[in-house]
Amino acid sequence: MRGYLPPEYLVHIDHGKCRRCGNCVRNCAFGALQFEHGAWQQIMRIFQHGQDDLQQVFDKIKENVPDRVVADHHKCVQCHYCVTHCPEGAISVQPNPLAYRGNYHWQPHHLKNIWLQAETGGKLLTGAGNDKTYFSYFDHMVLDACQVTNPSIDPLREPMELRTYLGSRPDALEFESGPDGPVLKTKLAPAVRLETPLVFAGMSYGAVSLNAHKALAMAAKACGILMNTGEGGLHTDLYPYADWIMVQVASGRFGIDPDYLRRGVAVEIKIGQGAKPGIGGHLPGEKVDEEVSRTRMIPVGSDALSPAPHHDIYSIEDLSQLIYALKEATEYTKPVAVKIAAVHNVAAIASGIARAGADIITIDGFRGGTGATPLIIRDHVGIPIEMALAAVDDRLRQEGIRNRVSLVASGGIRHSGDVAKAIALGADAVAIGTAALIAMGCRLCQKCYTGNCNWGIATQKPELTARLDPERAAERLVNLIRGWSLELKEILGALGLNAVESLRGSRLRLRGIGLSESDLRVLGIKNAGVGA
C-alpha cells in the first residue's frame, strides 16, 4: 500500500563496487534492501556457516549468479546503518529530489503527512525531538570572555572546579563552637555529587535496549555522574552501578517496589517531558519481552500504559504527598526530583514544586527527545528550555527559594556551549538524552517507535540489540562527557572563573544577538554591545 506517498529517500547502490556480500540485506531491519531475484540470498543461507571446503564453490556461484541488491526506497529511513557498515562503501542515501510545486505555506512534509493520514486514519507517531524550524535562543546568545582588565585562567595549569551537588540547600548555615573549632549545626539535606554538571536524561529500558541502558550506567559510573532509569524499572544487571543511577517514578508505576526506591541514589517523579507535555506513554506489548517484563514487573506481551497524569496527583498538595511518601520510603536519605515539561506557566509550577518539598527540579524543553510521541504534540506543544529556565530561575530568586532546589535543564542540548549557556541562565546541571544516543550511533532517523532501530539502541529485537556493544558504547559516552567537560573548563577559564558554581545564574556573562526586547527581558540578558 503506497498510495500517494513518494519515498522520502533514494538509496543508491554502486553495482561496480558491490560484492553482493549481503551485509546490508541482512542488516536492514526496515527491509529496505533485498536481492533482486532472491537467488543469492538463498545461496547465502545454505552456506551460512561458510565451510572452508565450500569456499571455492561459493566464489564460483557468486560470479555466476546474476543477482544484485535493489532498494525499496519507500522503506528507507536514512539511518545510515548500511552506509556505515558496507565494506565496499557502495551505498549512498539521498533525499528524494522529487520537486514539489513551491509553496511556502504547504511544505512537502505537510502534504506527505496528509497523504499518510488519508491512508491510515491514525495519529502520526514520531520519535526523537522537535525538528521544526523554531527560533533557537541558544544560537542567539553568546558568552563573555576576559580581556586586559581581568585575567583569564588557563585550565591546563590551574585547578578548575566542575564538581556539582544536586539537592536542596538550607536557607542559612548555623555553626556552634566545638573543641576543634566551629561545627556545622544545620542539618544538610541529602545531595548527589556530580564530577561534572551533566547527567544522562531519563530513558527507560523498553524504550531503549538493555545494552543502551548498561552503556549509560557504565559511563555514568566512570564519569561520576548519573544515569536515569526512566519509567521502566531497574534491570538486575545495572545493580552494580546503582550509586550512579537516579530511579524514576512515573504515572504507570512500573517496576517500583521498596527495593527499587532504595537502590537508586536519587528518586525522580516524572510529571512530564518536553517531547510530549501532558501526554502519557504507551510501550506496545510487542516490546515487552521476558527481560522487559521482569524489569517493569508486568506480564510478557502486555501493553504498558503510563496514564497522562499521575492519578494520585491532581494538585501541588498531591505532588507534595508523593514527594514525602518517597522520602518516607527512602528514610530521607535521597534527594527527590520532579521532572516537568517546559510549558507556559512553568515558573509558577516550579515554584509550587519547590514549595512541595522537591530537592531537584528537572525542566525539559520542547526540543527534548522521546521514544514515541504523537508528532503533532512533539512539534507544537511546550516552550524552549532557554526561556523556561530563565523564567524559573527568576521566579525562584524573586521568591527567595532558589536555594531550596537544584535545577536540571534539558531539551536539545547539543554541545558544551549550550551547557555553559544553560548554566549561565540558571541551571545547576544539564541532562542529555539525544546527544548521548547520538554518541552511541543514533542518526536521528526518528523511527524509535517502530522498534526497528538498526543501531541496537531503541529496540528490543535480540538480533538488533546485539549490535550495540555496551562496553564500546560506554567508552564513546565517557569520551563525550570528557570532551564536553574539557571544553567547559576552557569556557570557564576564558570567563576568568575557576568553578562552575561561579557561572551559575550569572546572566551578565551572556549577551543576546538578534533578539527582541521581550526576548531579552525574559532571558534576563543584555544585548551584545551593551557593557556591564
Partner 1 sequence: MLRIDAGGLHYRLLNQQIRDAVRNGETEFVLDNVNGQRYIGTGLESANIRITINGVPGNDLAAFMSGPEITVWGNAQDGVGNTMNAGKVVVHGAAGDVLGYGMRGGKLFIRGNVGYRVGIHMKEYRDMMPVLVVGGTAGAFFGEYMAGGRLVLLGLDRPDGAPLAGDYLGTGMHGGVIYLRGRPDESTLGKEVKLFDLDESDWAFLEPLLEEFCRYYGREFAEVRGADFCKLIPVSHRPYGRLYTP
Asked if residues 149 and 413 have their Cβ atoms less than 8 Å apart, the reply is: no
Residue 365 C-beta: closest distance to partner 1, Å: 25
Asked if residues 248 and 228 have their Cβ atoms less than 8 Å apart, the reply is: yes
Q: Residue numbers of the site for partner 1 (CB under 8 A)?
A: 116-117, 119-120, 122-125, 249, 251-253, 256-259, 261, 282, 284-285, 293, 297-299, 302-303, 305, 307, 311-312, 321-322, 324-325, 328-331, 450
Q: Are strands 141-143 and 510-512 parallel, antiparallel or unpaired?
A: antiparallel
Closer to partner 1 by Cβ: residue 263 or 526: 263
Closer to partner 1 by Cβ: residue 249 or 420: 249
Closer to partner 1 by Cβ: residue 256 or 407: 256
Residue 289 C-beta: closest distance to partner 1, Å: 14
Closer to partner 1 by Cβ: residue 52 or 259: 259
Residue 259 C-beta: closest distance to partner 1, Å: 8
Residue 273 C-beta: closest distance to partner 1, Å: 18
Nine-digit cell at 393? 530561575
Nine-digit cell at 209? 535496549
Residue 311 C-beta: closest distance to partner 1, Å: 5
Residue 131 C-beta: closest distance to partner 1, Å: 18
Nearest of 22, 26, 7, 18 to residue 91 by alpha carbon: 18
Bridge partners (DSSP) listed for residue 406: 360
Closer to partner 1 by Cβ: residue 180 or 328: 328
Give CA–CA dist 124/275, Å, rounded: 14
Beta strands, E only, 406-520: 406-410, 429-432, 510-512
Closer to partner 1 by Cβ: residue 256 or 488: 256
Nine-digit cell at 482? 570528557
Closer to partner 1 by Cβ: residue 28 or 522: 28
Nearest of 344, 167, 334, 206 to residue 272 by alpha carbon: 344
Asked if residues 408 and 429 have their Cβ atoms less than 8 Å apart, the reply is: yes
How many whole angstroms from its chain centre is CA 346?
20
Residue 372 C-beta: closest distance to partner 1, Å: 9
Place of cell 556457516: 49
Amino acid in position 304: A
Closer to partner 1 by Cβ: residue 36 or 317: 317
Give CA–CA dist 334/330, Å, rounded: 7
Residue 229 C-beta: closest distance to partner 1, Å: 15
Give the CA distances from residue 92 to residues 40, 71, 78, 99, in Å, rounded to whole numbers and listed in that order.
22, 11, 10, 20
